[in-house]
Amino acid sequence: MSFGRVIGNEVTKSQIQYFEDFFSLQEYLKKYFKNFNPTAEFVKWAWVEVDAIDSIPNNMERFTLAEGVHAVFDYKGSGSAHDIFQYIYGEWISNSKYQLDDRPHFEVLGAMYKNNDLTSEEEIWIPIKNK
């Protein structure tokens, strides 16, 4: 597991190099991480990027990702990534100059993503702001 980079303000297609890939996006309540409970509910989206809002297929909903700074972690391993999330939320955030921001968290599931495979690769994007 390695910390990749901090990306600021506007997330562009060149920063997310997987324009045609899938995203797994989570929306948490404001106090989700302050009073952490592994059984607490949150909203999860399966997400794809589109070229234009008018090209959204029927039976799909529109979602606009708000601008902001993200910490990006490159993860390689199976779908049960408990260790990296423990590292991000338990160690990296508390030892950095950042805190979690109240925006969606997401993973980029690119061409190297293979569900439940030890060689699978993905990017984990965590919304952050200065402490």
In-domain check, residue 31: yes
In-domain check, residue 1: no
| Domain count across the chain | 1
Q: What is the pLDDT of residues 1-48, one digit of tens each?
A: 344 455 554 454 444 444 467 889 999 988 888 877 778 899 998 887
Say what the pTM is: 0.78
Q: Using pLDDT thresholds of 50, 70 and 90, give the confidence band for residue 95.
A: very high
Domain extent, residue 115, equals 10-123
In-domain check, residue 56: yes
Alpha-carbon distance values, 75 to 39, 41, 62, 91, 107 (Å)? 24, 24, 28, 16, 10
Q: What would the two tokens of residue 130 be?
A: 């200065």
Q: What is the pLDDT of residues 40-72, one digit of tens each?
A: 899 998 887 777 777 677 777 888 888 899 999
Count of other CB atoms within 10 angstroms of residue 123: 23
Q: From CA 105, how far away is CA 115, in angstroms rounded?
A: 19
Taking residues 90-98, report their average pLDDT: 92
